[in-house]
Structure 1
Amino acid sequence: MIETEKQEFLTGLFEAAVTAADAHAALSQNLPSKPKGRTVVIGAGKGAAQLAAAFEDLWNGELSGVVVTRYGYACPTRQIRVMEAAHPVPDSAGIAATRALFEAVDGLGPDDLVVALVCGGGSALLPCPPDGLELADEQALNEALLASGAPIGVMNAIRKHASGIKGGRLAAAAYPARVISLVVSDVPGDDPAQVASGPTVPDAVTLADTLSMIEARGLLLPPAVLERMAPAPSPDDPVFERNEVRVVASARLSLEAAARASEAKGIPAVILSDAIEGEADVIGQMHAAIAREVAIQGRPFKAPVVILSGGETTVTLRHKDGRGGRNTAFLLGFAQAIEGLQGITALAADTDGIDGSEDNAGAFANGKTAARMRAAGVDPADALRRNDAWGAFDAAGALFVPGPTGTNVNDFRAILIAP
């Protein structure tokens, strides 16, 4: 294959992964039974509007409700109201959307059904500062967490204990109605309580556990927020007794779909893991070491082969004006580690279509990418230090820009190794 053909092949695998998380397909096998009373749909996340539209098409009966998604991610719906708010740092529109969700579940009875459509991105889209705090406090908390490099589980534990909606509080507000949460997982391990910080799914992680995490990592959080953190609802609270949670799409299912698509083209595929975490550029170097071993030594896999992985890496921000996200940071570490090697081409992209601060989902890299960056006047090592992975790949002409996909099952990484 020539390089453009390799990129087209990897793009096809990305599309297969995204298609496996399609809203209509994900929901069609997971519709709840009709209630005696009303059906109210609520939801949040980057793919919430598409989930709402699909649910309307699939549901045979009356319904109402509201979902919130990121600016620019809305789609037409008939009965369910779609609101937009800011991501990754919350804004006042998110406050209004949070209020609308609580209003939608207010006054329901035991014969009513609440269907919660939850996917990645909901944490930022649902700001709800507890008493004594303002939106600015929650914004400061989010910015501190995003810059910390902490894994998603730690960030979400903190968010849940500093919020009036996360950690199951929205489901508790719907009591005594029954709540069915249909979750598109974007978190390592597919724990539904972690997706969007679990607005309808309580978590067993306690406030004491969370404070220990903060201390162990030396996280610097806004003092006002620390002072007002409070226990989240416990999973054994009777208000959750009739509720149900289903993970309807996930990184695992998407990676398996990509593997099948590769094998259909005659190239074997292996999945390293769907739950890889860690500093993005370091994880990139680790993937590069495996790719080098395959290309040079023919182990632990024989070429041709596609190596797939997913999960959620992190980027420790050193410069607030940095551009890009964790997938381009991953590839910047990867590109430098495979420099000069032939036969290796990689795609790393966020399945929601947007990687961090810009309009790209990720980028492509091969053994010539780092040299192309230098030829364009960009030192890749310096770009990594400045958190400007986007600028480096833009200079190399290697950005991957599919646009918003309408779903979100976290990061997608595919490395093609061909003799």
Structure 2
Amino acid sequence: MEKVLKKLRKDAFLIFEAGLSAVSAKDAVEKALILENGMLRVREREYNLSSYARIYLLGGGKASADMVAALHEVLGDTIAGGVVSVPHGQGGKAGKVRLLEASHPEPDQSGVENTREILRVAGQAGRDDLVFCVISGGGSSLLIAPPDGISLADIVEMNKALLMCGADIKEINTIRKHVSTIKGGRLARKIYPASLVTLVVSDVVGDDLASIASGPTVPDTTSYGECLGIVEKYGLCGRIPDAVIQHLQRGADGMVEESVGDGDEAFKNTHSIVVASNSTAVKAASARAKEMRYGVVSMSSSVVGDTHDAAHSHVRLAKKVLTKNDPVAPPACIISGGETTVKVRGHGKGGRNQEFVLSAAAEIEGLPIAVLSMGTDGIDGLTDAAGAICDGKTMARARELQLEATSYLNNNDSYNFFARLGDLVMTGPTGTNVSDIHIIIIGKPT
């Protein structure tokens, strides 16, 4: 079986790579833009570039550096200037556009200063100007502008509590949008009355524009009251700084201005499109698996909820394929995408992809199955790994090293479990971000 498992592992990586290649941020932006004789077509809309006095480029996110590169290739010297907040290691210049570095996933003072500069440039845009905004996952941490009375330290502590409590990304970003002067449509308001085009690489299930990077350039329909409901739902009083709770309460009482809603004049001249998403990656990965002669089951690009539950449901389906040839016969490949949630109870190190794989490992022991789960951005949780891989012999190998999988799971320490086995997947930053891809490959029964 060792030879079979080795092939399944190799094929899992090849299928993942096909999905990742399909969501190259640079390629996606270039495909979305067509420039001919001074007329720029952005999907169904056209812009006569000669009619604008100046063109600016703003934004932030883990994929934004490659998005800027694509826009610069298309527009060149017509871009008068701009500022984009990017992760460390991606800084520099693209023509007159400055790529300023900041920390992710934990925001830092550089992020605050970068955002202040973005808002300053946005305020320079006038009625005769055109602004492009490049937004991608990670923008919530890279675009940081706390309102008066809330410090950067408050934001950091708030984010940690939100990420650990089990809230989903929409709930997390609902609160983030209400403790910011750039999120929740506020950047669009700052840019108005200039025309605005937002290009988005989506890391959010369902591609909800208001949730991606906390929606700085699109209308927001959430409220301070909803924020307080989330605080109560997850018992966050005492875990989120008092300054944040007090700000949310003042907002609910009508003492602080709401985020920018639909119908506001700020959105009169705006156009927002998603250029790459998780569904794009899942479709490409599925096509590659079919080329490799696997029967393919594409579950969904909208997998959410508890990470352990998601892993168990994937394994149940894999066993059904293996034992009943249902819904396809092996060799087969189950592919899905999305963003699950880990409720942190222990003090270990890991991420939702590593937890997904560890949750699956015990259930596939002795079977011709391999499970790969990775973040398309190359980062899983607060670790340097993109994810992990396991197969039908993982548990036997773990016992040889006296590793107790249940203990590691209970301590949320999947990183150190897979580090001991050499089964962490390290890619480094990929330059894109469309959330996670799960690949389960089932070989023929032996």
Tell me the TM-score range normalised by the shorter chain: over 0.9
User: Post-superposition shift, 1:60?
Assistant: 4.5
- Give the equivalent residue in structure 2 for 1:151: 168
User: Post-superposition shift, 1:176?
Assistant: 0.7
**For residues 326-341 of structure 1, what are the structure 2 equivalents within 5 Å?**
326-341=352-367
**For residues 270-349 of structure 1, what are the structure 2 equivalents within 5 Å?**
270-320=297-347, 322-341=348-367, 343-349=368-374
- 1:192 correspondence with 2:218: no
Indicate which of 238, 241, 246 corresponds to 1:222.
Answer: 241
C-alpha distance in structure 2 between counterparts of 1:11 and 1:194, whole Å: 30
Is the 8 Å Cα contact of residues 56 and 79 (structure 1) preserved in structure 2?
no
Amino acid in structure 2 at the alignment position of 1:142: N
Q: Which runs of 5+ in 2 are unaligned?
A: 34-41, 252-257
Is the 8 Å Cα contact of residues 331 and 365 (structure 1) preserved in structure 2?
yes
Is the 8 Å Cα contact of residues 133 and 197 (structure 2) preserved in structure 1?
yes
Q: Which runs of 5+ in 1 are unaligned?
A: none
Q: Quick one: structure 1 residues 76 and 12, their matched pair in 2 at CA, closer, same or farther if it must change by over 3 Å?
A: farther
- 1:56 correspondence with 2:58: no
Helix, strand or coil for the counterpart of 1:106?
helix
- 1:179 correspondence with 2:196: yes
State which drifts further: 121-130 or 246-255.
Answer: 121-130
C-alpha distance in structure 2 between counterparts of 1:392 and 1:296, whole Å: 29
User: Post-superposition shift, 1:61?
Assistant: 4.2
- Identity rate, percent: 40
Amino acid in structure 2 at the alignment position of 1:66: V
- 1:407 correspondence with 2:423: no
User: Post-superposition shift, 1:186?
Assistant: 0.4
State which drifts further: 331-340 or 293-302.
Answer: 293-302
Is the 8 Å Cα contact of residues 92 and 98 (structure 2) preserved in structure 1?
no
Q: Quick one: structure 1 residues 48 and 235, their matched pair in 2 at CA, closer, same or farther if it must change by over 3 Å?
A: same
Amino acid in structure 1 at the alignment position of 2:58: I
C-alpha distance in structure 1 between counterparts of 2:99 and 2:402, whole Å: 44
C-alpha distance in structure 1 between counterparts of 2:126 and 2:409, whole Å: 54
Deviations 1:93-135 (A, max 9, x none): 1111111111221221111111111000111112211111111
- 1:244 correspondence with 2:271: yes
C-alpha distance in structure 1 between counterparts of 2:400 and 2:241, whole Å: 43
- TM-score computed with the length of structure 2 as normaliser: 0.90
Is the 8 Å Cα contact of residues 50 and 74 (structure 1) preserved in structure 2?
no
Amino acid in structure 1 at the alignment position of 2:393: K
Is the 8 Å Cα contact of residues 373 and 393 (structure 1) preserved in structure 2?
no
C-alpha distance in structure 1 between counterparts of 2:379 and 2:168, whole Å: 19
State which drifts further: 32-41 or 69-78.
Answer: 69-78
C-alpha distance in structure 2 between counterparts of 1:51 and 1:324, whole Å: 29
CA RMSD of aligned residues (A): 1.6
Amino acid in structure 1 at the alignment position of 2:359: G
Is the 8 Å Cα contact of residues 8 and 442 (structure 2) preserved in structure 1?
no
Indicate which of 361, 365, 387 corresponds to 2:386.
Answer: 361
The structure that has the greater radius of gyration is 2
Is the 8 Å Cα contact of residues 13 and 261 (structure 1) preserved in structure 2?
yes
- 1:374 correspondence with 2:368: no
State which drifts further: 290-299 or 45-54.
Answer: 290-299
* Paired residue total: 417
C-alpha distance in structure 1 between counterparts of 2:67 and 2:11, whole Å: 28
- Give the equivalent residue in structure 2 for 1:235: 262
Is the 8 Å Cα contact of residues 167 and 232 (structure 1) preserved in structure 2?
yes
User: Post-superposition shift, 1:316?
Assistant: 1.6
User: Post-superposition shift, 1:206?
Assistant: 2.2
Amino acid in structure 2 at the alignment position of 1:85: A
Deviations 1:82-101 (A, max 9, x none): 11111122111111111111
User: Post-superposition shift, 1:77?
Assistant: 2.8
Helix, strand or coil for the counterpart of 2:32?
coil
C-alpha distance in structure 2 between counterparts of 1:4 and 1:169, whole Å: 51
Helix, strand or coil for the counterpart of 1:81?
strand
User: Post-superposition shift, 1:171?
Assistant: 1.2
